[in-house]
Homo-oligomer: A and B are copies of this chain.
Amino acid sequence: MNRQITLAARPKGYPKESDFNLVETPIPQPEDGQVLVKTIYLSVDPYMRGRMNETRSYAPNVEFNEVMLGGGIAQVVESKHPDYCKGDIVNSHIGWQEYGVSDGNILRKIDPDIAPISTGVGILGMPGLTAYFGILEVGKLQDGETVFVSGAAGAVGSVVGQIAKIKGCYVVGSAGTDEKVSYITNELGFDDGFNYKKESNYQEKLSDLYPDGIDVYFDNVGGEITDAVFPNLRVKGRVVICGQISQYNLEEPETGPRFLWYCITKRARIEGMLVSDFADRHPEGLTQIAKWLREGKLKYHETINEGGIESAPVAFISMLKGGNIGKQLVKIAELD
């Protein structure tokens, strides 16, 4: 049998376990051009929260009793596509389930010799590519600039800060625990960091950390920390909007100070991004990230819940509440 996690209810605020159902269905059979895969690692990511809402995000939402969407690392069980053989490791998009069939054309092979296969949904997958194109292409990062990253210990933020360090920048990150701050400064080489839960005046804190202002702010969280950045931007500063996780689980939308005036005084640019906009350049990004990994210039961390498909909701909720360092994964099965 195949076990799936489906959407039971649209969450109000943080999702609860009861917003999900565990369902058993037969293992599907691949047709011509399709591949049956078995999930090894399931990726749970902040963007999935938006897809649980009733109002459309940038892509269709999950419907009631539909399998929760998402990517993972999977192994080919049976292939009716010429490019794939039984046993191949692939990046799949079959959602939160143990088995699924996929059009072979949308799979991507993972080379297990480059790095552990789990990195295919982490630093060598969507989060790594988001960081790469976000900071370099949207942020137009220049060598030696000053960079601030919120959500700095997460799957994306941790890579953003390290790329900025490779580029000789001064980099500070914010995160929600002392352990995370220690991770980004001691393990990843950020110049500084702070636990936002222990700071009361972000604007002053940033002004102390950046006496000459911030050139590029990479925003994963939104809310009050982001508010505090605008007065601290340098002229021609850039703000990359990658995520707004502080806002995803609010029961009522928040208001905040108006900050567009600073866009004028600083001639600042705010720009949102989706990694899919750079799809044609993903191979280039993966090549560069793999090179930096080999050279030891990039590090990564994974927070793996080993509890199988039934623990995906718990792992997802934990990630939304900041329980992860680096990439949050769920281990679904062993490789054959």
Binding site for B on A (CB under 8 A): 57-58, 219, 222-223, 226, 241-244, 247, 253-258, 260-274, 277
Contacts and interface: CB of A to CB of B under 8 A. Distances in A.
A261 B247 contact: yes
Contacts of A222: 258, 260-261
Contacts of A253: 257-258
Contacts of A273: 264, 267
A267 B275 CA distance: 10
A155 to B, nearest CB: 16
A265 B247 CA distance: 14
Nearest to A244: B261
Main secondary structure of the interface of A (DSSP, over half): mixed
Given A255-B258, A265-B272, 5 more contacts: A243-B264, A253-B258, A255-B255, A260-B272, A269-B271
B264 A274 contact: yes
A260 B277 contact: no
A241 B258 CA distance: 13
A302 to B, nearest CB: 25
30 contacts: A58-B264, A58-B265, A58-B266, A222-B261, A223-B258, A241-B260, A241-B263, A241-B264, A244-B260, A247-B258, A247-B261, A253-B258, A254-B258, A255-B256, A256-B256, A256-B258, A260-B270, A260-B272, A262-B272, A263-B272, A264-B273, A264-B274, A265-B272, A266-B272, A267-B272, A267-B277, A269-B269, A269-B270, A269-B271, A270-B271
A264 B277 contact: no
| This chain's copy number in the assembly | 2
A263 B219 CA distance: 11
B267 A268 contact: no
A271 B266 CA distance: 10
Contacts of A270: 260, 263, 269-271
The listed residue with most B CB atoms (<10 A of its CB), out of A222, A253, A256, A258, is A258
Contacts of A242: 264
Nearest 5 A/B pairs, CB to CB: A263-B272, A58-B265, A264-B272, A270-B270, A255-B255
Contacts of A272: 260, 262-269
A257 to B, nearest CB: 6
A268 B265 contact: no
Nearest to A254: B258
A176 to B, nearest CB: 19
